[in-house]
Amino acid sequence: MSISQDYTRVAIVTGGAQNIGKAISLRLAADGLDVAVADLPGQIDLLNTVVEEIQRMGRKVVAVAVDVTKENDVKAMVEATVSTLGRLDVMVANAGVGATRVQPVMDADIQDWEKGWDVNIKGVLLCYKYAACQLVKQGNGGRIIGASSICGLRGYAGVGGYCISKAAVRSLTQTTALELREHKITVNAYAPAVIETNMMTTEADKEHGPGFGAKSLLKILDFRTGQPADVANAVSFLASPDSHFITGQTISMNDGVHFS
């Protein structure tokens, strides 16, 4: 059942200037949403490139420089989006960092792990918080979508810090979904397996080709790596009015690597 509205919906996509975030930004624009593309201040050139692509689609778009680990930045991002584009309907808390090296628990560098948690947990939490505040204020429901991972669905040896952070997103998503049900706001997450982006580049990738190191690390050599569009397709549905009966779920796109 399609649910119509008499206004143009607006989405924020963090980490939206490249890789999966770029694919999501472009897909939501193609779906007819106006988009706030948010990324780190150092990514301004990439941000502007995505903005130009969305403008060519005939959609309204704004670039927002944000560090999702800073609460004032996230609050200002939501305020700037509403001020420029008029409202907020969809928050895609996509910004995240991957596992940069194999690090067993016995060798855990807590400061290194905490850097990942800052972005992957705190950053998502802040996006959920300020999106929820705005959506409740508007009173029209909405969609909040977060970036988990197949590593948030089960553990993988050597990348415990990353697994913890993505499992936390899954738990946060369930909790927030329950809290926002009465406001007709759905909260879901996506949990991809290995997606071919420059975040996955390692020394093994350079020697053997894109995705090799990541596939070796996760021991899934018999399965395909995905493309950013594979994630964007799922986010497109979760962001749509047709997904109104789905909340608190973590949907995985993984070519059958893991069944939940």
Contact 127, 175 (CB under 8 A): no
Beta strands in 15-60 (DSSP E): 34-39
Scanning the structure block, which residue is given the tokens 């988990």?
Answer: 148
Contact 258, 154 (CB under 8 A): yes
DSSP per-residue codes, 111-177: HHHHHHHIIIIIIHHHHHHHHHHHHHHHTS-EEEEEE--GGGTS--TT-HHHHHHHHHHHHHHHHHH
Instruction: Check 162, 184, 190, 206 and give the catalytic one.
Output: 162
Contact 216, 204 (CB under 8 A): yes
162 in active site: yes
7 in active site: no
Instruction: Check 22, 128, 130, 166 and give the catalytic one.
Output: 166
Q: Which of 29, 105, 96, 27 is nearest to 68 (CA)?
A: 96
* Active site (catalytic) residues: 162, 166
